[in-house]
Amino acid sequence: MSKEEILKSIENKYEELGVPVEAMLEGLLWSKPITYWDYIQTDALLGLQIPRTTQPDEMVFIMYHQVNELLFKMILWEIDQVAKSNDISAEKFTKHLMRISRYFDVLSSSFSVMGEGMDVEQYLKFRNTLTPASGFQSAQYRKIEFASTELINLIDARFRDTIDRDSSFKNAYDHLYWQAAGKNYSTGQKTTLLKLFEKKYMGEFIDFMEDYNDCNLSKKFKQLPDEVQKNKELIEAMRHYDYTVNVKWVMAHYNAAGKYLGGDDTALEATGGSNWRKYLHPKYQRRIFFPYLWSEEEVKNWGTF
């Protein structure tokens, strides 16, 4: 566009907004030049790391969790490019899925920052100040699950065959697989970890479940024309995403937890209080976003290949 055309377009835009273009142009005269730190908000971002103990490695723990949360936000952003699109091609679907998978690849391969990056003695000191908090309480992680698949795939495997698929969102919520990490099954009591999490997020989660009920990634895939659903690249992208989130990341996390909390016989109780060795392993959890894209054998051996 020429300078004249640009000025004309700006004039039209402000006319439509009912704002005098002269006032806007004069404003430009006095505005400050943009800087990196204002735009990226570095001061705010770098002011968010507040350790609770004297142990230097607690900083690694806090910051790596924050890095995860930022990437979770990038993932939710990309999911919405698919979920909220009315007319989506196989290419666009694949492009966004691959972006999401790459973010989860980063999260999985960087987990050594946690696994190798803290002294066990320091971790065992500062972890006591964090009880009963846990990464389990990451709301974005739960939203990624709700936005990726149908609720039935997030229901505790023990109830999946018997739960009424048309029951309320609240009933589905009460039977989500992750409730198992927050319930004492001998007393039926919910742990503090789960009670606090629900107090803050349950309402928001139920709204979110409803919002994504018809536009989660799995539903969007099934709404594509038959021939698009057979697109090889798209299927490969869906499988890659499912495997990266539900096996690769889960195993990277599980192995890091094992390093700090110990082996089978000596395992320490998790800060969140779950029977974590059993709860966190994908072969027990059986969380699969797109089960229809895996063979019977692959589903049966989930978490072991």
Calculate the alpha carbon distances from 207 to 169, 201, 214 in Å. 9, 10, 13
Residues 120-139 that bind ligand HEM (CB under 6 A): 134-136, 138
Q: Among 147, 154, 238, 256, which residue interacts with ligand HEM (rule: CB under 6 A)?
A: 256
- Smallest distance from ligand HEM to CB 266, Å: 14
Q: Among 169, 260, 284, 294, which residue interacts with ligand HEM (rule: CB under 6 A)?
A: 260
Task: Give the number of residues in contact with ligand HEM, rule: CB under 6 A.
Answer: 24
Q: Among 276, 289, 290, 302, which residue interacts with ligand HEM (rule: CB under 6 A)?
A: 276
Nearer CB in complex with ligand HEM: 93/123? 123
CA distance 293 to 121: 44
Residue 75 interacts with ligand HEM (CB under 6 A): yes or no:
no
- Smallest distance from ligand HEM to CB 67, Å: 8
**Strand ranges for the chain from DSSP E:** 183-184, 189-190
Residue 213 interacts with ligand HEM (CB under 6 A): yes or no:
no
Query: Do residues 107 and 249 make contact, with C-beta atoms less than 8 angstroms apart?
Result: yes
CA distance 303 to 305: 6
CA distance 219 to 176: 19
Name which of 216, 149, 214 is nearest 176 in CA terms: 149
Secondary structure percentages of the chain, helix, strand, coil, to 5: 65, 0, 30
* Rg (alpha carbons) of the chain, rounded to whole number: 23
Residues 133-192 that bind ligand HEM (CB under 6 A): 134-136, 138, 141, 178, 181
Residues that bind ligand HEM (CB under 6 A): 64-65, 68, 114, 134-136, 138, 141, 178, 181, 253, 256-257, 260-261, 270-274, 276, 279-280
